[in-house]
Chains A and B, each alone.
Chain A
């Protein structure tokens, strides 16, 4: 299927599910009970309309015909890299407030650099990681006076 037809289809699904959610929203206790719901409902309608419009436009060109906009390619290698980073981000979320900014960032940035920059350059990675974590901590906490989570060990 042409990539734009997929976009159209996804928009219709998004519009419909958003619309169903919108209808189920609690009514306002004061004023017009429907007031908080009109705008989302309008949005849902707009989304479904646009999705359908895009899908139909594409369908008229032939759903499986050649598209000068090349089909987006998802290579296994690059997806592996992206999903690895996503995983690190989620782990970072869990560690951030538990281990404090400096420690969790060292783990986070180091793992990203090991995967993206390569494990062979571990010395370079370690220097950058520690330099960044301490530098950012100093800048935010000492210079800007913005508090960041501290580690359970009391330092940093």
Chain B
């Protein structure tokens, strides 16, 4: 415990420099704005803003990115509350009671409670993070290449298996993502693979290009479809004092405290993300509340619970990324990628070799939550004006930002062609309802996955037995199989009870 406190206070000294606090604030504000815009969630937001961090020190870059992530999670609910359009999947549950509250003239209370709940949820989750991170990183030192390979299989399987309907399509998306990573010079033998004689392809397809293409450009293409008929809903931009009453606080307090751990645990698990955490928190509260009939008509606890859970979830999601080096969601996959670009290998060794960075990020989570709360409560009225920018102006600008960002990765315009093609692929995937998250995750971990596979095979002299040789691998296999089987089991149980299940929306 003492060691953790020493490390943490060291982390605060890293995070509290002027530059870092500045970028934390800028990141949180940009993230909030991007999170508010419908269709642009944290994943796309971080991908678009990633190039901005290339010139920064590693710790600053990660602090900025974490701030963007939290900002986007805070911001996602703004448009849920004011427009009934969730800024991202995790904010879907915030529409259920947030929008009715705004319609009843309680927009101020809704905006305030969502920021307060997010703040408390994020803060408690960060404390839990601090307690878990070090033991987890120490445990992960026991992992060899075989364990890592199976761990990545588990992370990918869990991400692909979010909904029963799309499970095969999720796995297909994963396989496409892995295929992308095999393009370019093979790292171990130096042989070119799938380059079709194009020199520029020898360095491979950068996963940042994949992410910006599939998420960013694909999103824009899909939105261009209904742009002709898109009407900008008038947004309330004049507010009274954005705060809550004592009565609101009393009703929200226990739901926030109860649903934070739920969100945090869901966040640690790979695959299930903020959307599931928020929906689950909402359903939990609805079931135990004495006022369940008020849910859906503007019950403040119906907004507080999912908000606390989805922020706790985003903190939890950073655990496997930082301590194991294996991300469990699209967003953390991008952050992992960013670490790799900076030349850092996340995972257990990060805590040993770069404690300043690891603990700096953790300290910045505390500070980031405070910054986000400040941005989102007093400044909410100002920031929501972004929502009145018509999409027909916004989307061309996003395309330009995406291209600029991609250029700064390899300084080669050839990437533009790949970006455009991937954008169209992303668009088709949306049209055919193929989930994108498994593809993104696969395109980030694919290379590590192949090299740990080949290292294991070398260690075992070509025997597949190495993947079943330790308790850790066997448990991970069970988890992987379990996560694929789970949607079917829960569906079967629900049908037996004749209950209505909510299938999780893909995005």
**Is A66 an interface residue, CB under 8 A from the partner?**
no
A93 in complex: contacting residue of B176, B189, B413, CB < 8 Å: B413
* Nearest CB in chain B: distance from A90 CB, A: 6
Chain A, residues 48-80, CB within 8 Å of chain B (1/0): the string is 001101100100000000000100101101100
A contact residues around B486 at 8 Å (CB) = none
B191 touches A51 (CB 8 A): no
B171 in complex: contacting residue of A36, A50, A78, A132, CB < 8 Å: A50
* Nearest CB in chain B: distance from A10 CB, A: 9
Interface range, A side = 35 or more
* Nearest CB in chain B: distance from A118 CB, A: 7
**Is B417 an interface residue, CB under 8 A from the partner?**
yes
A21 touches B392 (CB 8 A): no
From 75 to 104 in chain A, residues with beta carbon under 8 angstroms from any chain B beta carbon are 75, 77-78, 81-82, 85-86, 89-90, 92-93, 96-97, 101
- Bound Cα distance A75, B188 (Å): 47
Number of A-B contacts (CB under 8 A): 163
B contact residues around A155 at 8 Å (CB) = none
From 107 to 156 in chain A, residues with beta carbon under 8 angstroms from any chain B beta carbon are 108-109, 112-113, 116-118, 124, 128, 132, 136, 140, 144-148
- Bound Cα distance A130, B491 (Å): 54
From 167 to 215 in chain B, residues with beta carbon under 8 angstroms from any chain A beta carbon are 168-169, 171-172, 175-176, 178-179, 182, 186, 188-189, 191-194
- Bound Cα distance A132, B168 (Å): 42
Interface range, B side = 35 or more
- Bound Cα distance A125, B414 (Å): 27
| Complex: chain A residue closest to B194, CB-CB | A21
- Bound Cα distance A26, B178 (Å): 20
B contact residues around A136 at 8 Å (CB) = 400-401, 404
B186 touches A36 (CB 8 A): yes
| Complex: chain A residue closest to B390, CB-CB | A117
B contact residues around A93 at 8 Å (CB) = 413-414, 416-417, 420
A78 touches B169 (CB 8 A): no
A contact residues around B462 at 8 Å (CB) = 32
* Nearest CB in chain B: distance from A65 CB, A: 16
- Bound Cα distance A117, B404 (Å): 21
B contact residues around A1 at 8 Å (CB) = none
Answer whether A18 and B221 are a contact pair too, CB < 8 Å, given A92-B416, A93-B416, A132-B400. Answer: no
- Could you list 9 examples of A-B contacts with CB < 8 Å? A6-B432, A11-B175, A18-B194, A39-B182, A51-B172, A89-B423, A96-B413, A116-B395, A144-B52
